[in-house]
Amino acid sequence: MTYRAPIRDLAFTLQAVAGIDQVAATGAFPDYDADLMGAVLEAAGQFSEGVLAPLNRIGDQKGSTCKDGNVTAAPGFADAYRQFAAGGWTGLTAQAHSGGQQLPKALELAAYETVHAANMAFGLCPMLSLASIEALEAQGTEAQKATYLSRLVSGEWTGAMVLTEPQAGSDLGALTATAVPQADGTYRLSGQKIFITWGDHDATDNIVHLVLARLPDAPAGPKGISLFLASKYLVNPDGSLGARNSFHPVSVEHKLGIHGSPTCVMAYEDAVAELVGTPNEGLAHMFIMMNAARLAVGVEGVGIAERAYQHALEYARERKQGRSVWTGAANSPIVDHPDVRRTLSVMKARIAAARAICLSTGVAADLARHAATEDERRQWKGREDLFTPIAKAWSTDVGCEVASQGVQVHGGMGFIEETGAAQYYRDARITPIYEGTNGIQAMDLVGRKLSQDGGQSARDLIADFKTTLAQLPKLYTGKPVERFANAVEAVEDATLWLLDAKSDKDRAADVLAAADAYLKLLGDVTGGWMLAKGALWARAELDAGRGDPVWLEGKIALYEVYAANVLGHVSSRLAAVGQGGALLERMSVDVLAG
């Protein structure tokens, strides 16, 4: 089936739920208005539907290849990338002085949802360029910006994030790659890196690697890591490309999914490199890229979920089997069976919630930089920090769950590769692992983000939940209100419990044992809050006689589906938060193996 970009849903989420009009009101984006938002989303949708989606299956079946130290992208990908760059899609949020369009981050995220939905393997390439742009804008020298930044913004060159080594995955303090200073101010970079997404390809003339490595006199552990820039081809003073630098792909990994994305093993052999930022502060500099990538990966989860949902819905409308309990018709489409209808409804509701969380994180990021006062910027920065691990982890879990449900809707046919449903499931599975596993996101949430401002950002969020809860009786009675009330109480209890536990160093195991359940609980409730806000907005539009009544009524019903099927289970999340570290300690290796 073909992919249809959900333009109306994206625009609704940006305006009615995420609040992008607050971003426009700052005046920081003089070219942005609602008309431009609509134009950008329409153009992104058309490109994703027409150019990227048709290549998705080809990329899965053919993949990329590595031969003689060079990677060739999957058939059609290089040409698609050149069209993508020519359309200006790598410069949406970059600063105007670097050739960018200086538009809101939230709008970029919405546009890129269509890219990831249409062809996630392709979308990973520009996604890493965007992260590289943010890092160089923040930490690059003027010379580095002049040489590299504008070409990354234009899409003429692409960027790659180079962290992982065979012995150093999430524990980056264990990496051993080295960078030796030279008399001319450059460095010689040596070491092997693995899992380098789009580390080499033939879609552009040059690739800019941002690499973590150690200086010869660096202290051990994470405090001894620096960030370096190594270009595939050396750049001459006039900006032209010179000789090939001394690093190359050894191989491309054979993966469960995203076959169209070349995941490279890279070898650096005295490669010429430049220091980015301050020596031994590379980890902090890299986290500029990492945080941008984490939010982008959350959007990948939303995109792949949307694609899997559309595929499942189309199949359910076409596949005929059994009698409808509503119409009584024999040989009816399986969408008329209650369990299939329920499954599709929950899929749609969870996608809408994840989309809202990601785009709201983008709005918070925009306002953290551009709100009118320092106090407002600090508050929005707290919201951005709190939301980022949720956006990454909760949304990618949704991507996997929805893709799995998409296979289930297809029944036995879903397990057959020819139907296409299995590819979305395989592609989605990397997203909870990318850019710090979801367990690491949960540890970050409870270990740092929850208490970095004394818990104020979490308390402010809970206060916003309660404001919306007070409005819900205007729209619903009974269970839809009660379930949200119970959910808000559960997340408040869990938050206060964790803040108390964190004040006692002897309860560190209790805090970490609660991390995953707390992130999922907070994600569940935040998603419900956002769908409730959307439902209230839809009701106001209906009362004013505006919009499509069927579509708007669907927004009201979607919250009720979510409240029954997601918020109705918050008690189990709360129980898991309080399980304690002692219980897990009892589950020793001997017990697990017994």
Active centre residues (catalytic): 435
Backbone angles phi, psi at 72, to 5 degrees: -110, 125
| β-strand pairing of 233-235 with 241-244 | antiparallel
For 547, counting Cβ atoms within 10 Å of its Cβ (0-12 exposed, 13-18 middle, 19+ buried), the class is middle
The DSSP letter of residue 51 is I
Any idea which residue has 């819900």 for tokens? 472
3-state secondary structure of 191: strand
Residue by residue, what is the 3-state secondary structure of 131-156?
A: HHHHHHHHHCCHHHHHHHHHHHHHCC
Residue 109 CA from chain centroid, whole number? 9
3-state secondary structure of 185: coil
Helix (H) or strand (E) holding 422: helix 421-428
Please state, in angstroms and rounded to a whole number, the distance separating the CA atoms of residues 209 and 201: 13
Please state, in angstroms and rounded to a whole number, the distance separating the CA atoms of residues 107 and 363: 9
Name the residue among 80, 92, 8 with its Cα closest to residue 42.
8
3-state secondary structure of 184: coil
Q: Where are the beta strands (DSSP E) in 238-322?
A: 241-244, 247-252, 263-276
Cβ proximity of 445 and 515 under 8 Å: yes
The DSSP letter of residue 190 is E
Please state, in angstroms and rounded to a whole number, the distance separating the CA atoms of residues 207 and 262: 13
| β-strand pairing of 65-67 with 70-72 | antiparallel
Cβ proximity of 266 and 232 under 8 Å: no
Name the residue among 247, 231, 244 with its Cα closest to residue 186.
231
Altogether, the residues listed in the chain come to a count of 594
Cβ proximity of 115 and 298 under 8 Å: no
Residue 384 CA from chain centroid, whole number? 14
Any idea which residue has 């694609």 for tokens? 307
Listed in sequence order, the DSSP H helices in 197-269 are none
